[in-house]
Amino acid sequence: MELAAQYCPIRKNFEEQILILVDRLVWLTSRLKSFVGDDHQAFISARADCDDTKAEIAESRRDLRFHRSEHGC
C-alpha cells in the first residue's frame, strides 16, 4: 500500500463516523430495552431511531467501500 493510502484522512473520517454511529446504536439499543413492557410509544420511537441509525451505518459503510475502491486505501 502506498504511503499516501496508509494514512488517508478521508478514510479515517469515514471510519470515525461509523464508530460514532455504532456507539449511538449501542446507546439507542440500551434505551430501547428500557421501554420494553413499560412505554409502547417510547419503544416505537426508540425503535425507529435504531432503524435510522442502522441505515446510516449501512450508508457510511457503502461510502467507505466506494472510497477505498476508488482511492486504493
pLDDT of residue 54: 98
Listed residue (21, 19, 48) closest to 32, CA to CA: 48
pLDDT of residue 5: 55
In this prediction the pTM is: 0.81
User: For the chain, which residues make up each domain, given as ranges?
Assistant: 3-71
**Each residue's pLDDT tens digit, 11-70:** 999 999 999 999 999 999 999 999 998 889 999 999 999 999 999 999 999 999 999 999
